[in-house]
Structure 1
């Protein structure tokens, strides 16, 4: 029997028993709850809100954070969870990232004790949903050009502006909104029931269909000082959260690639043409070999990055290295896997093209290829090439 694991470098030996136990728990959750349903969810453009509590019960929301009901897991354990969730679908991993890496991290790192107590336990349990409002219709890769403002009004604030491509915004209970003030860039916690807050889903979409992305409108939203994240000043604060999400992405992309490879290998062994399984053909075997090489290398990149993160020595350009490489290669793996299916590969009966379409969005958000290339270019040369 062929080896379907793709673990030809015996990477499992590099993980602890506890890390593998967590991975297997998440893998089983995906097999039981995501894999049987994802075709319908994707086709219907439906995000299953009910899985939030299920993921919370498994400790998957804000799992890298400590206290306030969070699991306090390591960076590597968080990465393994992202890999397994994205093997199910990028939209499911994106939910975990938006909730934990973005919204919860913003509150945990920059919020007051009162804010943490109010929001984090419910978010860790999946009872409350958060979103992260940074990107705008005219300010994507350059957040310094954002137009959303927060102006002082007596002892409070008034927010006006718009945000776009905000995950979970239509079902969120609280929005972390970044806005320009006379004090520089600040973060605000906006309960989504506040007068002047509206969110509309962006649709139709060709990818991330089992996920929610929305446009937010902020019209004369009045907030007290208790809404301000007290320790969030300047772009460093949202970029800290973005780096948490980018880190998870480098693991997640390899999960999508692995699932596409496994589907293609199974198909290659079952599908017969010219009297042979197509897996016996040289060109098919070349495709499978190329997939395994990139999955193994990408997983090594993610694991080493995770160990650096757990050791507290990870640099931001190393995160860009992993996000840029792993998502780019995962897309190629999924496209190559689709080719093995021939015409059948464009249906939702098989996962590779769904993964590839999702990964086009993953490749764009949390920093495009171009942005991460320039981050690395500056690290290499010492010369900033940003416009």
Structure 2
């Protein structure tokens, strides 16, 4: 009996190599300044657009590269290896536009996906609020129907790339007296819509090159044809979206961890103590081995989850949560160990591992905390 071992296709390997070269040349050299200056990585955006890696998930019928879920994860992983902030460009473009792909009308897709595919606009996702983070059903943003239009009021918090993106998927309560979890609706809001403004950038621990701001909605009037799906289906669409996009956060975490392992391995090969390379001490070798083993396990889980996303497997919810949870916990451990391996040098900004450790932390929090991921996984097992 013969069978094929699991492996990336030649096309996937070629894609990884192309993205890795682009990142080394155009993105990594700017990562430290992007972090230090807390500025949007414009160099990375331009490079990703030029390579058609900024929104590769968009189907070809809308001018996109039609990349599969695994290909998108490879792009995000390789970009995050050099600059986590920059990896949020392809990741958030997918997150913001996924509700449109899953439940939007043909007209909505035709209007909003081509500009994203061309690199003329980014697409953000506005679900969370200050008092409705993990408990999304408690959101206070409201949308009231007025003839063929909707009027939106509220404040969305922690919105990635807010102010830079032109388009936003916004969730709002449309039936305040309706059943909890079945009374919200999704809409596309444009940056240029009257009544849309943004709060001050959050002062964050990491991913400082990706602006995180409130989206303020004050009597924002939009036509009904910008509604995504039927009224009341917003949270269902949001959860379906996260099943697919949590995997991209796992890919980001894998990339951050790989970058930290690369730096730590190179450092201990060169650094000498007690007359020999630090890499020659068995205790250090054990640390490196544990880092590499846990990283590869997380990577394979992300890839399997990506394959399930592409197929739409019934167990995607479990695997999406598991991949995000495992990869982000792994990234936090590996980046912390990388700082330890560099000693005092690792604690300084002369080396990138301190930045990577700060960047890794958010992967345990956004798109659902890892405590929520464990609940999702457990409920999938028990259902």
Q: What is the TM-score of this pair, normalised by structure 1?
A: 0.91
Q: Distance in 2 between matches of 1:282 and 1:50?
A: 41
Shift of 1:231: 4.8
Q: Distance in 2 between matches of 1:307 and 1:99?
A: 20
1:311/1:197 CA distance change after superposition, 3 Å: closer
Any idea what the Cα deviations from partners look like across 1:131-174, whole Å, max 9, x if unmatched?
11100011000111100000112332111110000011111212
Contact 1:107 1:116 in 2 (8 A): yes
Question: 1:191 matched to which residue of 2?
Answer: 190
Matches within 5 A, 1:201-220: 201-220=200-219
Helix, strand or coil at the partner of 1:210? coil
Supply the RMSD in Å over aligned alpha carbons.
1.8
Whether 2:71 is the aligned partner of 1:77: answer yes
Q: Distance in 2 between matches of 1:85 and 1:44?
A: 19
Helix, strand or coil at the partner of 1:341? helix
Q: Unpaired runs of 5+ in structure 2? A: none
Question: 2:164 matched to which residue of 1?
Answer: 171
Question: 1:267 matched to which residue of 2?
Answer: 267
Q: Distance in 1 between matches of 2:117 and 2:79?
A: 17
Q: 1:111 aligns with which of 104, 107, 114?
A: 104
Q: Distance in 2 between matches of 1:216 and 1:79?
A: 27
Q: What is the TM-score of this pair, normalised by structure 2?
A: 0.92
Any idea what the Cα deviations from partners look like across 1:181-206, whole Å, max 9, x if unmatched?
02821111111122211112433211
Contact 2:305 2:316 in 1 (8 A): no
Question: 1:385 matched to which residue of 2?
Answer: none
Helix, strand or coil at the partner of 1:132? strand
- Runs of 4+ in structure 1 deviating by more than 4 angstroms, as ranges, are none
1:124/1:201 CA distance change after superposition, 3 Å: farther
Shift of 1:50: 4.7
Q: Unpaired runs of 5+ in structure 1? A: 1-11, 383-387
Question: 1:149 matched to which residue of 2?
Answer: 142
Q: How many residue pairs get matched?
A: 370
Contact 1:62 1:105 in 2 (8 A): no
Q: Distance in 2 between matches of 1:307 and 1:125?
A: 26
Deviates more, 1:348-357 or 1:160-169: 348-357
Q: Distance in 2 between matches of 1:257 and 1:304?
A: 18
Matches within 5 A, 1:114-125: 114-125=107-118
Q: Distance in 1 between matches of 2:234 and 2:312?
A: 23
Shift of 1:114: 2.6
